[in-house]
Amino acid sequence: MWLPSLRGLRAVEAALRLGSFSAAAKELGVTQTAISRLVKEVERQLARPLFERRANQSRPTVFALSLQSGLGDGFRRLEATIAEARRAVDDPTITLSVGPTFAMRWLIPHLTEFHATHPEIDLRLATTIDREVTLGPDTLAAIRLAGAQVPGFVTDALFSGR
């Protein structure tokens, strides 16, 4: 799928939202001339005018106004996606779903060793008596008593025998 340049679309979105090339330039940290060039490049790529230019004024065309909401939503979603990806990589928090008996009898006694080995990781435990493995948005892994593969999950045996 072909799209105009991301920098150009960002310039168009800012100019539409802020109402002027000058305000868009200030927000994006570039010159008004740079905004004008980026907008012209998008207009060329789309083969449609986005702004009617008159002496020191630019007014958005109907076509540009029809893009405004979608561009704004798209950039907000892109920013949110990037922020979420950064949090996922940069956040050293791991939430582990475990049964309460396993947590009390085995896992909690071993947490001191885990924290000594991995002091940068914030390990959180979510206990549940549900044998069904369901991971929430913040839960990275689960430990369950199971004798076989769990469909849809990568499984590893932690212990063998009793």
- Considering the domain architecture, whether residues 83 and 101 belong to the same structural domain is answered as no
CA distance 99 to 75: 41
pLDDT given for residue 20 in this prediction: 94
Predicted confidence at residue 149, as pLDDT, reads 63
Whether residue 131 has pLDDT greater than 80: no
Distance in angstroms (rounded) separating the CA atoms of residues 32 and 20: 9
If you average pLDDT over every residue of the chain, what do you get?
Answer: 87
Of the two residues 43 and 115, the one the predictor is more confident about is 43
pLDDT, position 70: 96
Is residue 106 one of the residues assigned to a domain?
Answer: yes
- What DSSP string describes 133-152? ----TTEEEEE---SSPPTT
What's the longest Cα–Cα distance across the chain? 84
Distance between CA atoms of 138 and 141, rounded to whole angstroms? 9
Task: Tell me the pLDDT tens digit for each residue of 43-53.
Answer: 999 999 999 99
Domain count along the chain:
2
Q: Measure the CA–CA gap between 98 and 146, rounded to whole angstroms.
A: 12
CATH number at residue 101: 3.40.190.10
Q: Give mean pLDDT, residues 32-59.
A: 94
Q: What is the distance between the alpha carbons of residues 20 and 53, in angstroms, rounded to a whole number?
A: 11
Side-chain half-sphere exposure of 75, counting CA atoms within 13 A: 15
Q: Residue 145 has which token pair?
A: 């008593």
The predicted structure's pLDDT at residue 122? 85
CATH number of the domain enclosing 81: 1.10.10.10
Query: Are residues 45 and 21 part of one domain?
Result: yes
pLDDT of amino acid 104: 92
Is residue 31 in some structural domain? yes
Could you tell me where the DSSP H helices lie in 19-138? 21-28, 32-46, 62-90, 100-102, 108-117
* Residue 159 confidence (pLDDT): 76
Q: What's the Cα-to-Cα distance from 70 to each of 2, 54, 63, 128, 144, rounded to whole Å?
A: 16, 26, 12, 42, 44
pLDDT band at residue 123, thresholds of 50, 70 and 90?
Answer: confident
- Indicate if the pLDDT at residue 33 is higher than 70: yes
Query: Which residue type does 34 have?
Result: A
pTM assigned to the model:
0.58
Domain end point (choices 62, 87, 112):
87
Tell me the per-residue pLDDT of 58-98, one tens digit each, with 9 for 90 and over. Answer: 999 999 999 999 999 999 999 998 888 777 677 677 888 88
Which domain range does residue 40 map to? 6-87
Question: What tokens appear for 155 in the block?
Answer: 């499984």
Whether residue 77 is found in the same domain as residue 97: no
